[in-house]
Amino acid sequence: MSMSIATLLKGQHTDIEVCLKGWVRTFRNNQFIALNDGSTNHNLQVVVDFAQTDEALLKRITTGACIEVRGRLIASPAKGQLVELTAQEIQILGDSDAEKYPLQPKKHSLEFLRDIAHLRFRTNTFGSVSRLRNALIYGIHKFFQERDFLNIHTPIISASDAEGAGEMFRVTTLDLNHLPRTESGEVDFSADFFGRSANLTVSGQLEAELAAMAFTKVYTFGPTFRAENSNTTRHLAEFWMIEPEVAFNELKENADLAEDMLKSVIRYAMEKHPDDIDFLDQRLADEEKQKPQQERAEFGLKEKLQFMLDHDFERITYTEAIDILLQSPAYKRKNFNMR
């Protein structure tokens, strides 16, 4: 029987024969393998009878090695786990040199993981983020589809700047070392692939507005690109954006739609992946402890999400928002400009 480790760890299946494939996190005492297949941050303990296992095979069971294990899933006598797998057959699918493999079983900084991008998905942080991102993507489509919205695909390469939504990345087939010029000295795009200037999209808004005039309720959900030279955590060169358009909505209905969508998607992710939420909540708490007391966040991750689900969103006017900013401590300390 083939099941994911996430399913097996729930303890609903015992005394069954299973076949598991995954990657070794740790191998202790030539007897206990912590096996992970990416379905959860938690590992399944595989118990090896080292006395009956070839020594050469045992040496190949190293951190990062890819293996296939066949055996019997039983109730675990150890604390902290409901089940464990008694190995009957182990096959090495991919060796990992323990001396060279950079992802050892310890905490690594995000800066370090940038240098080993091909392996970082095996870490708990990237595992949790990836599973939650997947749940959020599904939750977004689920929300709109259940409300009879039509999903439309808008161009990624476009000649439109979508009402000046942001600086754009140029797309061209011209030889940048020998750009053709017009008599006035400007780039001659008539020789380009499209015969005119083109760029990566900054928004699918304009196409969505046109579609709403035919289908009433539509939404786009796809990649967009912004070339603002702002190297902050709040500016991304590439991101996925959700843009619903409803033909007959007023402002209040649009605000209600946004609130309902956010709450629905967050609720779905929290219900689907509570373990990943817990892990990221603890990770954030550990980071907050490193900050001075006055700089720490008021709420933890789970508290923020639950607070959002339990309360209605405030609706204020633009003038009220400006007044709040003018009264804020940051403005009074002149830490930001109101322009």
Residue 169 forms part of a structural domain? yes
Q: Are residues 35 and 137 in the same domain?
A: no
Boundary-marking domain end, from 40, 73, 94 = 94
Query: Among residues of the chain, what percentage have pLDDT more than 90?
Result: 81
Residue 111 forms part of a structural domain? no
**pLDDT value for 160:** 85
149-173 confidence digits (pLDDT tens): 999 999 999 988 887 767 899 999 9
pTM of the model: 0.89
**pLDDT value for 43:** 97
Q: Are residues 30 and 89 in the same domain?
A: yes
Q: Are residues 148 and 255 in the same domain?
A: yes
Residue 289 forms part of a structural domain? no
What CA–CA distance (Å, rounded) separates 44 from 74?
12
Residue 284 forms part of a structural domain? no
* β-strands 16-28, 66-75 pairing: antiparallel
Q: Are residues 80 and 218 in the same domain?
A: no
**pLDDT value for 339:** 58
Residue 102 forms part of a structural domain? no
Q: Are residues 150 and 247 in the same domain?
A: yes
Q: Are residues 76 and 195 in the same domain?
A: no
**pLDDT value for 29:** 94
Total domains present in the chain: 2
Q: Are residues 219 and 158 in the same domain?
A: yes
Amino acid at 92: I
Q: Are residues 46 and 141 in the same domain?
A: no
158-164's contacts with Cβ under 8 Å and 24+ in sequence apart are 158/198, 158/199, 158/200, 158/201, 159/194, 159/196, 159/197, 159/198, 159/199, 160/201, 160/206, 161/199, 161/202, 162/201, 162/202, 162/203, 162/204, 162/205, 162/206, 163/203, 163/205, 163/206
Boundary-marking domain end, from 246, 274, 302 = 274
What CA–CA distance (Å, rounded) separates 29 from 289?
35
What CA–CA distance (Å, rounded) separates 335 from 330?
5
**pLDDT value for 230:** 76
Residue 70 forms part of a structural domain? yes
Within 28-156, residue ranges assigned H as helices are 55-60, 110-114, 124-146
Which residues of the chain are under the pLDDT cut of 50?
A: none
For residue 224, what are the contacts with CB-CB under 8 A and spacing of at least 6?
Answer: 200, 201, 202, 203, 204, 238, 239, 240, 241
What CA–CA distance (Å, rounded) separates 207 from 298?
41
**pLDDT value for 338:** 56
28-51 confidence digits (pLDDT tens): 999 999 999 999 999 999 999 999
- CATH code of residue 75: 2.40.50.140
**Nearest one of 258, 249, 234, 241 to 314, comparing CA atoms:** 258
Q: Are residues 53 and 191 in the same domain?
A: no
- CATH code of residue 183: 3.30.930.10
Q: Which domain holds residue 248?
A: 125-274
Q: Are residues 268 and 130 in the same domain?
A: yes
Q: Are residues 66 and 165 in the same domain?
A: no
Residue 157 forms part of a structural domain? yes
Q: Are residues 152 and 60 in the same domain?
A: no
Backbone angles phi, psi at 188, to 5 degrees: -90, 100
225-245 confidence digits (pLDDT tens): 999 887 777 788 999 999 999
Boundary-marking domain end, from 219, 243, 274 = 274
Residue 330 forms part of a structural domain? no
